[in-house]
Amino acid sequence: MRRTDILNEPVKHIRVKDRLTVDELVQQYANSGSFGAGRLSAACDIYERMLRDGECTVLLGLAGALVPAGIRSLVADSLREDRIDVLVTTGANMVHDAIEALGGHHYKGHWAADDFVLYKYHTYRIYDVFVPEEDFIKLDLKLTEMYDQIADEYRGRSLSSREFAWELGKRLNDPDSILRAAYEAQTPVFMPAVRDSEFGYIYNLHASRRNFKDALVLDAFKDVPEIIRICRESERNGMIILGGGVPRNTIQSAALATKSGIDYAVVVTMDRAETGGLSGSTLEETVSWGKLKGASDKVMVPADAMIAFPLMVASVVERLGKNFKRTPRRITESFRETVKK
């Protein structure tokens, strides 16, 4: 290596003249190539390559309270417009999706609110988002009815979290709902930690009223062969991780089980690697497990996903243009066979 190999690309300074489109701004970030701006532009490049790769399955991992914060319609549209093939999410995000599907709302609040005052007004806080308790209660009541219906239909046969999400999506009529959009787009939604959310407590209401007889049965292991099969039968796999947690591990472990690893990876997180937690673990660490190919196209973006992901989608949609038509993985026979009802 020579010195000129190291010093071969000068930083270009960001210019904002007149009006910029989102992708024009992201291109300015690419010209800088530095810090978070450089990483965000790299993330857009990788997401674009995933979507242009006709043999790549795109898996989105969703953790953290992104749906209450306002990412719901963006994810639902991305499912409908074939920019996501598989969604792996916390149960909580789909709980908040269902709250809005049933007429509830999330409200702009403040992170410095007096929480004991909120408590006295039956109002829950998620950083600077407020949720009225009654919206959870109305969800509990409606979903208890849905659980009753599903349990009566399945008659003791267990559901995977993917089948459970499908059944909920079938019963929610809100076109802006992620679960509804996934149901209509035939996109699988896995909720590996489903019981660690209001869905778990609704189960308790539903099952208690039946004395735990003929109650809904969810099988946590049933998802495992399904998601492994999706990854195995895909020529290439790409993951976009917002946050990390159980969804990130679920996707990475499925890729590990295929023995081939992930080909494209974008992780947007504010977490740090030093604690040993998965959400902040570097993609190099992921390579050591064989979950990510050594030669993969990858970047970790240290950013608030609420800022980064909408920019990524807007930039990539602009690049692809209106006439771009992606072939979604769901139309392939093996994919349909895997996720068939």
Partner 1 sequence: MKKTRVADSEKFCGNCTSHNAYEYPVQVFCTRRFLKNKNAIVQTLWHCEDWIQNAQDCHCVKDSKEQQK
Provide the annotated active-site residues: 291
Q: What is the DSSP letter of 13?
A: P
- At 14, give phi and psi (nearest 5°): -70, 130
Question: What burial letters (b/e) apply to 310-333, b meaning 16+ CB within 10 Å?
Answer: ebbbbbbbebbeeeeebebbbebe
Residue 122 or 157 having the CB closest to partner 1? 122
Q: What is the DSSP letter of 330?
A: G
Task: Rule CB under 8 A: say whether 134 interacts with partner 1.
Answer: yes
Task: Rule CB under 8 A: say whether 52 interacts with partner 1.
Answer: no
- Which of 138, 170, 195, 222 lies at the binding interface for partner 1 (CB under 8 A)? 138
Q: What is the DSSP letter of 279?
A: G
Residue 116 or 221 having the CB closest to partner 1? 116
Residue 141 or 307 having the CB closest to partner 1? 141
Q: Cβ 102 to partner 1, closest distance in Å?
A: 14
Task: Rule CB under 8 A: say whether 141 interacts with partner 1.
Answer: yes
Residue 48 or 140 having the CB closest to partner 1? 140
Contact call for residues 273 and 285 (beta carbons, < 8 A): yes
Q: What is the DSSP letter of 208?
A: H
Residues β-bridged to residue 125: 130
Residue 85 or 135 having the CB closest to partner 1? 135
Contact call for residues 190 and 86 (beta carbons, < 8 A): yes
Listed in sequence order, the residues at least 6 apart from 14 whose beta carbon sits closer than 8 Å to its beta carbon are: 28, 29, 31, 32, 37
Contact call for residues 285 and 275 (beta carbons, < 8 A): no
Residue 206 or 319 having the CB closest to partner 1? 206
Q: Cβ 180 to partner 1, closest distance in Å?
A: 25
- Which of 205, 235, 284, 331 lies at the binding interface for partner 1 (CB under 8 A)? 205
Of the ranges 90-98, 138-146, 287-295, 302-310, which one interacts with partner 1 (CB under 8 A)? Answer: 138-146
Q: Cβ 119 to partner 1, closest distance in Å?
A: 7
- Taking CA atoms, 265 is separated from 118, 258, 291, in Å, by 40, 16, 11
Share in percent of the chain as helix, strand, coil (round to 5): 50, 15, 35
- Which of 33, 104, 132, 225 lies at the binding interface for partner 1 (CB under 8 A)? 132
Contact call for residues 150 and 167 (beta carbons, < 8 A): yes
Task: Rule CB under 8 A: say whether 213 interacts with partner 1.
Answer: no
- Which of 209, 288, 294, 337 lies at the binding interface for partner 1 (CB under 8 A)? 209
Q: How many residues bind partner 1 (CB under 8 A)?
A: 15
Of the ranges 47-55, 68-76, 130-138, 296-304, which one interacts with partner 1 (CB under 8 A)? Answer: 130-138
Q: Which 82-121 positions form the footprint of partner 1 (CB under 8 A)?
A: 119-121
Q: Can you give the binding site for partner 1, defined by CB under 8 A? A: 119-122, 132-134, 136-138, 140-141, 205, 208-209
